[in-house]
Amino acid sequence: MLHDLGIIMLVAGVISLLCKLLKQPVVLGYIVAGILAGPYVCGSSWVNVESAETWGEVGVIFLLFTLGLEFSFKKLLKMGSTAFIGCLTIVVGMMGSGFMLGRMLGWSEMNSLFLGGMLCMSSTTIVFKALDDLGLRQHKFAEICFGILVVEDLFAVVLMVLLASIAVNQQFDGVEMLAQVGKLLAYLILWFVAGITLIPSLLKKCRPHLNDETMTIVALGLCLGMVLVAKMAGFSEALGAFVMGSILSETVECERIEKLMSPIKNLFGAIFFVSVGMMIAPATLAEYWLPILLITLTVIIGQIIFATVGITLSGQPMKIAMQSAFALTQVGEFAFIIAQFGESIGVTEKYLYPVVVAVSVITTFLTPYTIKLATPAYSLLEKILPKKFFTLIGRLSQGKNTIAQQSILQKQLKKVGLSVAVYGIVSAFVIMLYQHFVSEWIVNAVAAVIPDNLEWVSRLVALLALLVLLSPFLYRMIASHNNSPEAQQLRQDSSYRRVTLVALNVARIILGMMFVIGCIGRYFTLTLGLPLVFAIAIVAIIMRSSKVHKQSSDIEKRFIDNLSAREREQEKNRSVRREVEDAFLNYDLHLADFELNPESLYIGHQLLNLDLRHSCGVNIVRIVRGGVNINAPGGRERLYPHDRIVVAGSDEQIKRFAQELDSKVSSGKDNAGRASTFSLELLQVSPEMPFCGKPLSESRIGERAQCVVLGIEHEGKTTMNPTAEAILCQGDTLILAGETEKIKGLLIS
């Protein structure tokens, strides 16, 4: 395997350098490297394909782990309906288009279904890279793209489960599909809640001991640990890696972990894409050139149409919708994973994999160009379509900003429903894990120390231990939000809403009793009346126990604190408050902050002399210097290294300023164009030198030659770090540190 890895990385390195020189996405280079190193070009004796596939599977795990680090449930919720409606429209439209195209080409239903699944997701990696290269990450449509990509990443995980179910049964079973989705959602909720409750607290306690090396090992250990858990639960290893990444994305250490994982991501990502390229047979591409062309056109045209429609329907301006749609016109990394999965279980033909990879290569290559075409395409539509159409779209956008007020009852139902769902799932998994790992051990341990005729005592002890463990979660499921502002208002309402609140609380109590009755039934066979009586008594004890109340409150508080810890840290370090940024957006202005490079030519200059408003159109609204905020700095304010400059302007103005800032960087060379050299020099004091006979403080040597006097050798005796009162006598030798050329200037001073 080491031989195969060496060949893979060598070829990938050479081809990726060529891609950089040609200004093409490096992912293309990896795929091309795979084709060149694969068995269809160089033969099977050069690289073992099975070994490459093994490396590729490892690459998928780390690729999805790093994608999970970029995933955030809170960001997803903040996007509101835009990401969900846009993603739903794209998925339904592209899956339908892909399926119909496959059938038109004469492919089987299973091949067509998998083709539709591959075409409905864009590439997170390519979109991020393309927008970075084009300097568009600060634009408004970029945030919408990222929101849709996050939803697509989440949907891709669900899609893999659904395709697996359909592939095994060879038919679409709606009941089984719902069961699989329900199982997946339950596991996702459990893993997320448990992970957010435990992992950030663990990292916080261990933070003093987490240097870069230890943090890397811990992050990889958590990733691979969740991979094992997912595999034991019957899900894919990729899902486990993605889930752990999404959990760590909510921690304060996320940015640090992302930075540490970047080399690992780059390494195994390259291996994955190279392994993808190895599966491509050039002869197959030549044979299926027509399907490749048709699928490529379907992806580009379909993504533009469906994404534009979906984002516009969500209430966004049409220009923003088109800019977002033109950025999503490529086949994503999940398509390779789905293609590999279909081929591995034998439900898709072998030609489908290289065909989809070829489409991905073409669409990836075209992505920067399609992004640039968005604005001209919108301008063309403005000329063609009637003004009434754009007026209607504008009204839709305005209507989106008018938020319908939810009733008090709706708010309470939403809060209670979420709590019941989350704590119900957690309670069910606590019972399952307890029965599987703990119950039998407790029963056997107690039974070993009591008489045989008291065997029921061991089962009673196991039952009580389970109820104690379960009580904080049952309490939150039954009593959460009972004293919320909405609940207090509903209690004072004399209408049907007060009755609804009472019915809701009674239903929660009954649900809690059902959990208790289920636990009792696992240990004792009793008539229906007795379990009901015991359940009422146990629920009453749980509800009135202050200790249980405190435990449940502590668990929920820890979860909420851990979930919001990263956001609090980010807000603390923000150069401008979020509400101020939102206010600027109302006037089509953006705030962006830049850290001043120590080599920048702006350093030391006054803002008045830079005249950035005239050259770039931006205004500097704040300078953050060492934790001190200089608001609305005046023209005489100077810039210093590592200053964070907060500028306000339009998208184009900020882009122009970023380009200007990058170009105004010193090359580190002197006026002659030669690199400055720093060295240790010896200089003998002669009578002609103006500082001969003067004390060191009056010599101005450091000012004249921009050097440091490290020592003076006088009459054979050397004094290091001399005092300012030291006299420079004829014949003394000065030990100087500085630039050679400037020190030589002292000879002619």
- Whether 156 and 91 map to the same domain: the answer is yes
Predicted confidence (pLDDT) per residue in 500-510, tens digit: 888 888 899 99
DSSP letter assigned to residue 434: I
Both 317 and 419 in a single domain?
no
Both structure tokens of 258: 């992302």
For the stretch 617-643, pLDDT in tens is 788 888 888 767 787 788 788 888 888
Q: What is the pLDDT of residues 469-515, one digit of tens each?
A: 999 999 988 888 888 888 888 777 666 677 788 888 889 999 989 99
In a domain, 639, yes or no: yes
Instruction: Convert the pLDDT of each residue in 8-23 to its tens digit.
Output: 888 888 888 888 788 7
Examine the fold and report which residue of 629, 663, 697 is the final residue of a domain before the chain moves on: 663
Residues 285 and 165 in one domain: yes
Q: Kindly report the CATH number assigned to the domain that includes residue 613.
A: 3.30.70.1450
Kindly state whether residues 419 and 459 are assigned to the same domain: yes
Task: Select from 637, 663, 689 the last residue of a domain.
Answer: 663
* φ, ψ dihedrals at 649, nearest 5°: 180, 180
Span 683-706, pLDDT tens digits: 888 888 888 888 988 888 887 787
Residue 69 lies in a domain: yes
512 and 605 co-located in one domain: no
- Say yes or no to pLDDT of 672 above 50: no
Looking at this protein, which amino acid is placed at residue 69? L
- Last residue of some domain: 614, 638, 663? 663
Residue 387 domain-assigned (yes or no) = no
Answer yes or no: do 283 and 136 share one domain. yes
209, exposed or middle or buried, with CB in 10 Å at 0-12, 13-18, 19+? exposed
Sheet strand arrangement including 628-631: 590-595, 644-649, 619-625, 628-631
Name the residue range of residue 730's domain: 678-748
Query: How far apart are alpha carbons 256 and 530 in whole angstroms?
Result: 56
Q: Does the structure show a pLDDT above 60 at 452? A: yes
Q: Is 717 found in the same domain as 644?
A: no
The closest alpha carbon to 348, from 39, 116, 174, belongs to 116
390 lies in some domain: no
Are 357 and 252 part of one and the same domain?
A: yes
- Model's pTM, two decimal places? 0.66
Q: What's the domain count of the chain?
A: 4
How confident is the model at residue 142, as a pLDDT?
79
Average pLDDT, the chain: 80
Per cent of the chain over pLDDT 90 is 7
Cα–Cα distance between 428 and 248 in angstroms, integer? 25
Q: For residue range 64-82, what is the model confidence (pLDDT) as tens digits?
A: 788 778 766 666 666 667 8
CATH of the domain at 7: 1.20.1530.20
Question: Is there a contact between 91 and 113 (Cβ–Cβ < 8 Å)?
Answer: no
Instruction: Give residue 300's pLDDT.
Output: 93
In a domain, 394, yes or no: no
Residue 572 belongs to some domain of the structure: no
Q: Are residues 166 and 286 both part of a single domain?
A: yes
The reply to whether 117 and 52 lie within a common domain is: yes
Asked whether residue 353 is assigned to any structural domain, the reply reads yes
pLDDT at site 405: 44
Same domain, 447 and 484: yes
Looking at the fold, whether 438 and 484 belong to one and the same domain comes out as: yes
Give me the mean pLDDT over the 385-413 stretch: 65
577 in a structural domain: no
